[in-house]
Structure 1
Amino acid sequence: MVEVYFHDNKDTIDNFTEAHNSGEPVSLEQLSELGVIYKYITTQEDLEALATEREYKNRDIVNLNLAAFNNDIDAYNAKMQQFYKEHYHEDEEIRYIVDGEGYFDVRDKQDRWIRAKLDKHDLLILPAGIYHRFTLTDDLKQVTAVRLFKDEPKWEAINRDTGRNTLARQEYAKSITV
């Protein structure tokens, strides 16, 4: 089952795969207030039902581990740093963990990081426009995930440091206004 808590904000470029658990838990209800949906799905039939319900028409599988980069540690590290850079997308981001584990971090209404540790059978839906980042765990450093898409993926990561606020970001920010 997913573990969710506030990030301790003590990460560096060398330790971002560590747990960084502040000791302050976050409920699934608090996540849902941000538009983040969590599901625990154990069967292919349940995954297909969710895909149909939410009109996801396309999917792919992503494998993140050193072997997926032909044991090229520099390429692997570059990709992990890219995923960990704070960004948003103009589409929902849906990840279903088939194997392994990883951390998704999302910003709350006060701009604090919330960290969700996802394991096998965990599914997370991030709304379009939410700032987030992803990394593998320090223990496994491996994940296989199904990515689901409503249409053909237009997978542009819009990094926060660019200051670019598309309509998706503006609408998301308005939806969580305190």
Structure 2
Amino acid sequence: MVASDKDTREEVIQAWYMDDSDEDQRLPHHNDPKEFVSLNQLSELGVLSWRLDADNYETDEELKKIREERGYSYMDFCEVCPEKLPNYEEKIKNFFEEHLHTDEEIRYCVAGSGYFDIRDCNDKWIRVWVKKGGMIVLPAGCYHRFTLDTDNYIKAMRLFVGDPVWTPFNRPHDHLPARKEYVKGFLLKEAGNHSIDVNASA
């Protein structure tokens, strides 16, 4: 691949398989040797990603277009750091509990950075490092968790279709319709058991 074809999203979003260490959750937790995951591989698990202009999010036409196309009518900001987040220790522990939502989780990092961990079709953890300018969408029904990295700070725009529902369903909640749809639409397809159009559930 020539340099001009480089995916600029990779400058603000990187992903890799995690080791099984119980060390500080804020460390990168790379396998040895490192095993990176492409953004195309993430998209096969239903994870969408963009690189946007975080310094001009108020006037960014690309963000406006994404919100209009995907129906993201609600927007607010969440700052996660020891100084800004009430009950920080409890919240960061809860964020790192493996869970799913019955709606998409949309996060746009406008400052700082953090890790969003998701499971692949073999139930292995993939760590997704989102930095300033990176925006990701985790599909409804996918098990995931969040933690800060060692910089201990992220400011994220949260987007939602309609009124926000932040309810986490800690694993296991495999009986939920959103989970069943995610497994059918992405995990079974990714495992090669079915040929399903991933766009059908987008």
TM-score by length of 1: 0.91
Counterpart of 1:131 (choices 134, 140, 143) is 143
Q: Does 1:115 align with 2:131?
A: no
Q: What amino acid maps onto 1:100 in structure 2?
A: G
Against the structure 1 CA distance between its residues 146 and 69, is the aligned structure 2 distance closer, same or farther, given a 3 Å change threshold? closer
Q: Does 1:173 align with 2:183?
A: yes
- Equivalent residues of 2:174, 2:180 under 8 A apart: no
| Greater relative contact order, per chain length (Cα 8 Å cut-off, separation 6+) | 1
Q: Does 1:30 align with 2:41?
A: yes
Q: What amino acid maps onto 2:71 in structure 1?
A: E
Q: Does 1:20 align with 2:20?
A: no
Q: What amino acid maps onto 2:15 in structure 1?
A: V
Q: What amino acid maps onto 1:127 in structure 2?
A: P
Structure number with larger C-alpha Rg: 2
Against the structure 1 CA distance between its residues 76 and 173, is the aligned structure 2 distance closer, same or farther, given a 3 Å change threshold? same
Detail structure 1 runs of 4+ shifted over 6 Å in the superposition: none
5+ residue gaps in structure 2?
Answer: 1-10, 192-202
Q: Does 1:50 align with 2:66?
A: yes
- Tell me the residue number matched to 1:148: 159
Q: Deviations over 1:144-177 (max 9, x none)?
A: 000000110121100004x452100111011120
Q: What amino acid maps onto 1:18 in structure 2?
A: L
TM-score by length of 2: 0.81
Distance in 2 (alpha carbons) for counterparts of 1:160 and 1:168: 13
- Equivalent residues of 1:158, 1:164 under 8 A apart: no
Distance in 1 (alpha carbons) for counterparts of 2:164 and 2:76: 10
Q: Does 1:97 align with 2:109?
A: yes
In proportion to residue count, which structure has more strand? 1
> Root-mean-square deviation (CA), in Å?
1.2
Distance in 2 (alpha carbons) for counterparts of 1:86 and 1:172: 16
5+ residue gaps in structure 1?
Answer: none
- Tell me the residue number matched to 1:62: 78
- Tell me the residue number matched to 2:52: 41
